[in-house]
Structures are given as structure tokens and as C-alpha cells.
Amino acid sequence: MIHDEPAPAGTGTPGLKPAFFNEAFEEGGAARAHYGPLMDALGAMKDGEFAGRISQANDKLREFGATFILPDDPDDTGRIFPVDWVPRIIPADHWRTLSAGLSQRGRAINAWLREVYGGDQDVVPDEVLRESVFYKPHAYPGEAPLHVYGPDLVHVEPGRYVVLEDNARVPSGIAYADVVRRVGMEVLPELFEDYRVAGIFSYYARLRETLLAAAPPGVDEPYVAVVTRGERDSAFFEHERIARSCGLPLLTLSDCFVKGGEVRVSPDGRRLDVMYRRFDEDYVDTDLPEMKDVYLEGKIGFANAFGAGVADDKAVFPFVPAMIERYLGERPILQNAPTYSLIEEETRAEVLDRLPELVLKPREGYGARGMLIGPEASREDLDDAVRRVKQHPAGFVAEECLDFSTHLTHDGETGPEEAFVDLRAFVLPALDHVMPGGLTRVARPGTRVVNSSAGGSSKDTWVLS
């Protein structure tokens, strides 16, 4: 049972007096009601025990092969995926709203993409759409161009979550969420004892289902494969785990060839009906360009569809609420972080004047690349950002810098600290399915940048049943 009232803190219970809205602790430092049992379980551990468990957990991650590679890594072994082992808890009523809002966004984006590539859309200004590097003026988006969707959200006040961006190209993180949950259950089982936590492992069965549904019309028993660029890809661990967990072959583009107007695979020449591509579509143009014609003729399905990445454009993001109203006839359940286009001179001047208090993002950016967080930036970085914007104003958007929620981060040794967190959610719009939980990403204390490539870590995310 989950305690309805805050449980008394156990001896040595991790605690802190937060400076921001902290999900685990009240302003005065007491654990929030639904965190009471978790803090008691942590506090019941003897001196040094939590640090020892963390070491065991990280060893288990290495056994799973949960690594990632950065461009400057000297070899191919990769670094262990960084995890903060104090889980994040999302109450059931919060999740009901989150799940409904994420499902709504996925359906609206798919409706818009169908109109972008199959009709005349007018929700997004034409100059924004056609200047996007992700816009691919072609036909055949399929019924569900966006099969796998990974939006990022933040919690800004109790029960109110805001969407920061929509990831519609090759959203990642599910395999890491999977192994973090498995390792936590094995190494820290007592943390789970007083909770009923929604399961996440059935996601792979639903992912397989949505990939099968991406097959071209008339294909009764589609052959589906996960296709990667190979072991040097920074997320190869995830590609491998998705393929194994979905019961699908893992291929590279070099395993594929085009013959007779179809995509076939080596060595047996079997026809490939659906490709879950774990790379940007530009690699098809460079590595196997003739496959694009097969796709445009409707003889192979891609997840996600070519051109779906235009929904990933930061300048398209502000129009998603309008998509929801236009195509679904509904009011948006989740709000966007306030975002500004820099195309108009008046808005651009205002943004540049306020840059020290805003976030600046390249339209095509991902993984925090090229992003500037005004309140954390040096004068030199701010001046450089101003120059970049003036050179190419259409290439950037600005976003209000939100004081979103923080959480306890604890390495078991140096004591608890407060760190900002966001949530990468996992949505399958074609099935209207949202995985209960996601991957909570944790910034280094003192910064809002949550990406692991920038020194951040991740947490298991519990949705209470």
C-alpha cells in the first residue's frame, strides 16, 4: 500500500531543503506523501550500503551492455550509461492527464503530416514549412507517418506539465529505460516493496505491433527489420536491444539492396516490407539512394516515414496546439513552452534584448547541440549567439527559460543534491499507446541541460497504479 500521509523519515533518510519546486521534497525538507516509503527504504540502509548498491547496479548495466559512444571517445567500447538510482514517482492522476495529452499530440501531428504530404495544409506558415531542412516534398506519407514519437516534457508546478519539444525523427531512450528498471528491481528490490508501479516491458510488443502496421497495403505477413548504421552508432546498444526484444532481425543498410523494384536483404534475398530505421533519412540518400524510389512507390514502409521529421522542427513546434484544434476539434490538454520565431524583425529584436533570460535553439538541433541557456551563459557565449542569429535568423527559435521541477540526486557518498529533471516519453501514435513512464533525464546540479552527452544522467520513472 502507498502511505496516504507522509511516513516518518528513517534514520539517515536522504533529504534536502529545495530551492525550486522539488518533486520529492516539500519546501521545508519533508518528503512528499508518495515519496515517504521510498525515503524510508533508503534511510534504512546502513552507512555505505547505498553506495555499494549503486556500484552493483552500474556493474549490471555494463553486463547488459548499456553503453553509449560520444564522438570524442577513443575506442568503440563506449561509456556506461549514467544513472541516478533514486527513482522518480509520477502519481496516477498526473499520468492520466499526461497520457491523454501525449496521445492527443501524436494523433494531431499525424493528421497534419498526412495533409502536408497529401494535401494543402495551412496550419503552419508556408515559409516556415518550406525552409525546414526536414521538409521532403514527396508523396506517400502513409496513414501514420509518425509511428514512434518521443516528446520531452517538464513539470512546472504540481500536476502541470509543459511540452518542451517534439521528437519525430529517431526518438531514442526506450532500451535504457528498460534496463534501468530491470537493474533497479534486481539490485534495489526493497525500494519497490510499498508501491504498485505500472509495468513498462509490454512496450516492445506494442512497438512490434505498430511496425507490422507500417507495412504497405496488401502485405499479409510483413517482414520487418530494425536497421542500424552499425556498432559505431552512439545508440547501437538500443538498436540491438529493440530488435531482440521485438523478435526482429537487426540489419545495416549494407545488408539491403534493391532488385526488381523491391528492397531485399542479404544473404537470401528476402523482400523487406518494413524498415524501422534507426538513423536519419539522409543516410538513405547517401548509402542506398535507390531505396527511396521503392518507398515512394509504396512498396516498403518506413518507421518513421520520410518527411515525418518536419514535425521535429523547432519552428513548427509552436503550431501543434493549432493542429490539435484543427484536426481533432479539441482543446490541447498539454501546453507548449512559450516559443518565438525569429523571422520577424520586431520579435527578433525583443528576443535578442532578452537573450540572457531565454533559451536559444537551432531549428534542426537535437541533444542540446547548439542550444544556449541564457541564465547560464557567459557574456562571450551570448555575444556569439547574437552573431549567429543575425547571420541566419530563420535558423533559430527562442523559448522561455522555465523553472521546471527538480529532484533528489544522490550518489550514495557525497550526499543528496537538487537537480533539474525532464521526461522523455514514449508514444506509439498509430496505436494510441503511451508507455506508462518514460526516461527521466537529470541535469548536473547547477544547470538545466539534461542530456547525457552534456554530463547529465537518467532515472527510472515510476507511474503509480
* C-beta separation of 54 from 85 below 8 A: yes
The string of DSSP letters for 46-67 reads PTTHHHHHHHHHHHHHHHHT-E
pLDDT for position 314: 93
Sorted by where each starts, the structural domains of the chain and their CATH numbers stand as 338-400 (3.30.1490.270)
pLDDT for position 282: 83
Which strands sit side by side in the sheet containing 301-303, from one edge to the other?
250-252, 224-228, 274-277, 301-303
Where does residue 443 rank: exposed (0-12), middle (13-18), buried (19+ CB within 10 A)?
buried
pLDDT for position 344: 86
Tens of pLDDT, residue by residue over 124-134, are: 999 899 889 89
pLDDT for position 70: 63
Alpha carbon distance 4, 96 (integer Å): 19
DSSP state for residue 338 in the 8-state scheme:
P
Alpha carbon distance 297, 431 (integer Å): 25
What's the grid cell of residue 41? 527504504
| Residue position matching grid coordinates 552512439 | 234
Distances (CA, A) of 397 to 293, 311, 334, 370: 34, 14, 20, 12
pLDDT for position 454: 65
Where does residue 330 rank: exposed (0-12), middle (13-18), buried (19+ CB within 10 A)?
exposed
- Tens digit of pLDDT per residue, the chain (465 long)? 233 333 333 334 566 788 899 999 999 899 999 999 999 999 999 888 999 999 999 999 999 999 876 656 656 667 889 999 999 999 999 999 999 999 999 999 999 999 998 878 999 999 899 889 899 887 566 789 999 999 999 999 999 999 999 999 999 999 999 999 999 999 999 999 999 999 999 999 999 999 999 999 999 999 999 999 998 888 899 999 999 999 999 999 999 999 999 999 999 999 999 999 999 888 888 888 999 899 989 999 999 998 999 999 999 999 999 999 999 999 999 999 999 989 889 999 999 999 999 999 999 877 667 789 999 899 999 999 999 999 999 899 999 999 899 999 988 777 789 999 999 999 999 999 999 999 999 998 888 888 766 678 999 999 998
